[in-house]
Amino acid sequence: MGRRRERFRAARRAPVVKLGVIVIQPKYVVGVDLGTTHCVLAYAPVPRNQWDEPQIRIFPVPQLTAPGEVASQPLLPSFLFLPGPHDVPEGGLALPWNKGIDYAVGDFARKRGAEIPNRLVSSAKSWLCHSGVDRLKPILPWDSPAEARRVSPLEATACYLRHLRDAWNYTHAKEDDSARLEIQEIFLTVPASFDAVARELTVKAAEAAGLERLTLLEEPQAAFYAWIESQGDRWRKNVSVGDCVLVCDLGGGTTDFSLIRVEEEHGEMVLRRVAVGDHILLGGDNMDLTLAYALQAKLGERGVRLDGWQFRGLWHACRTAKERLLTDPNRETEPIVVLGRGSSLIGGTLRTELTREEATRILLEGFFPLCGPDDFPQSRPKVGVREMGLPYESDPAVTRHLARFLSRQGSGEKPGEACPTGVLFNGGVMKPEIVRERVVTLLSRWRGGEPLRRLESPDLDLAVARGAAAYGLARHGHGVRIRAGAPRSFYIGIESAMPTVPGVPTPIKALCVVPFGMEEGTREVIREKEFGLVVGEDAVFPLLASGSRKEDRPGDVVEDWSGEIDEVVSMETHLPISSEDAGGTVIPVWLESAFTEVGTLEIWCVSREDERRWKLEFNLRESES
């Protein structure tokens, strides 16, 4: 008996697509960076033999830049504008492939939405992983008037992917159906810290956009693949066996930490992802908001008060000002304009400015303070009643979150994991040199003054998409692959078999079903433990996860996890009754788990007595109490 591991091939990874009787081979590997702030698409021809040397290219995405004006840009801003009847001239939203579209995605959406913030959907990716709301309901733009148009986080995400699909097909597949994006090998990136539900929702958003042949890839890994691709054969000379590289990825919505260790097997250098950080909702959005509060205070000194609508406009304006100031060394100030309210918009326009010195001081002191290796995020008492919204981190200090992440890696068999020897930066927040230098200085201090190797990314905006395409090429044998697998250990909550005690809840044990690092495309059959499954009614199973318990194996039961394991969501299934079963019948079952090649989690209850199987489905509408 015991547990059994076997290899399987997920249906979505079929190597060809059949249209009727015609078999179509994919022509391209496509990497898609589905970012909080912007989306990028990179691609390369599928190599046909070992001598091919495919070149990765960035797809300039056609998009609205002004009413009736379309231009191609490498970045598609992740903003969705849902205009009212008089917000855009008639026909102003038309695209070459869709003349009747009634919303805008991309550059124009960001610019016009900053002027009318209650019609702008932003940070959809952050909402997609927020378990405190129903991510399938139309709730965005958040705080918009009741009569305003709204979409769900899933639908907003699908809109970005649908735009990429249509723009690609308009450009590449007008006369060649085999070049349609739906047919290509797509590698879609997600934060390494995304939980199983957020990954599942990302796949559903892609499917809603018609993109079903895809694989998920962690963004820090994609950034590392981009670095390898930029180095060519030189990458092996820039790292050594025993090195541990920290990938520090700060984007618009999240802070993502991963560790990749360089090892040697059979005389060959190999890469292994050995640690993934918590999901930290902390990024460029928080920084833009902080700058907005600082400017609000400056306006207040002039006796100017902003209402909620104007403040949201100021927040979006600060995003653009920050990007210009911190990336252009010749720019010292950036004007900020906030539209007024009422009949005299021109007369009511508010003007101020943000300086480079202000932006640098606020961001470094507030988000990258110098701290010790044991200086962890500070918790604050929570107010009993609060507004619903994104659950941003209470402590904005990225460096303290980094200290906690590294401290958790020092208790295993390889204590060197806690002390990276190199660092690779990714994400728009890390573009300013002064920010990167602050992190390098701090890490060097934590290493006792030893120098830290910096792996230079070729382009922080494009790296993730390029890396995803490079990963696709590596799957065809053109490049090295990082060994990774499941980013966390996953568990099912099991109720203890003990007498009920008044006033004492029945203890819940955690049964490990997916270990940390479980390879994609494998499944585990757990037979050490047998469970009774009640048929004829819905069944609910708590899904738990841990990023720190890396030694638990499938079938292990954890009775006291004390902060090491957290509940993710409940899983549900409706258990049909067979002709031989009466309602309430208990069926003896084993559990079976799979970490699919797509990058999602599956858990099944398998009858011990016959061929029946019940898949546990995520409760995607569950919210926190």
What confidence score (pLDDT) does residue 386 get?
44
Are 38 and 76 within 8 A, CB to CB?
A: yes
Q: Is the pLDDT assigned to residue 228 strictly greater than 70?
A: yes
What confidence score (pLDDT) does residue 304 get?
87
What confidence score (pLDDT) does residue 572 get?
86
Q: Is the pLDDT assigned to residue 348 strictly greater than 70?
A: no
Q: Residues 604-624: what's their mean pLDDT?
A: 80
What confidence score (pLDDT) does residue 507 get?
80
What confidence score (pLDDT) does residue 320 get?
85
Q: Comparing 298 with 187, which gets the higher pLDDT?
A: 187
**Bridge partners, residue 540, by sequence:** 572
Q: Comparing 193 with 71, which gets the higher pLDDT?
A: 71
What confidence score (pLDDT) does residue 585 get?
78
Buried b / exposed e over 274-301, threshold 16 CB at 10 Å, is bbbbbbbbbbbbbbbbbbbebbbeebee
138-157 tens-digit pLDDT = 999 988 888 889 999 999 99
62-98 tens-digit pLDDT = 999 999 999 999 999 999 999 999 999 999 999 999 9
551-570 tens-digit pLDDT = 999 999 999 887 889 988 88
Q: What is the mean pLDDT of the chain?
A: 87
Q: What is the model's pTM?
A: 0.89
What confidence score (pLDDT) does residue 306 get?
87
Q: Is the pLDDT assigned to residue 546 strictly greater than 80?
A: yes
Q: Quickly state the pLDDT bin for 517 (edges 50, 70, 90).
A: very high
What confidence score (pLDDT) does residue 310 get?
85
Q: Is the pLDDT assigned to residue 235 strictly greater than 80?
A: yes
Q: Is the pLDDT assigned to residue 2 strictly greater than 70?
A: no
DSSP 608: S
Q: Is the pLDDT assigned to residue 19 strictly greater than 80?
A: no
Q: Which two tokens stand for residue 355?
A: 């300086």
| Percent of residues, the chain, with pLDDT higher than 70 | 88
Are 602 and 561 within 8 A, CB to CB?
A: no
* Domain boundaries 16-215, corresponding CATH code: 3.30.420.40
Q: Quickly state the pLDDT bin for 416 (edges 50, 70, 90).
A: very low
Q: Is the pLDDT assigned to residue 582 strictly greater than 70?
A: no
Q: Is the pLDDT assigned to residue 594 strictly greater than 70?
A: yes
For 37-184, where are the alpha helices, taking DSSP H only?
107-115, 124-128, 153-172
350-371 tens-digit pLDDT = 889 999 999 999 999 999 999 9
Q: Is the pLDDT assigned to residue 588 strictly greater than 70?
A: yes
Q: Quickly state the pLDDT bin for 619 (edges 50, 70, 90).
A: confident
Question: How far apart (Å, rounded) are the C-alpha atoms in residues 468 and 224?
Answer: 10
Q: Residues 317-325: what's their mean pLDDT?
A: 87
Q: Quickly state the pLDDT bin for 10 (edges 50, 70, 90).
A: very low
Residue-range domain boundaries for the chain: 16-215, 489-618
- Report how far apart, in Å, the C-alpha atoms of 12 and of each of 215, 216, 450 are: 8, 12, 47
For 240-343, where are the alpha helices, taking DSSP H only?
284-301, 308-327
| Percent of residues, the chain, with pLDDT higher than 90 | 62
Q: Which two tokens stand for residue 257?
A: 């930490």
Alpha-carbon Rg of the chain, whole angstroms?
25
Length of the chain, please? Answer: 625
What confidence score (pLDDT) does residue 141 get?
94
Q: Residues 31-40: what's their mean pLDDT?
A: 96
Lowest-confidence region among 10-24, 315-329, 353-367, 532-546: 10-24
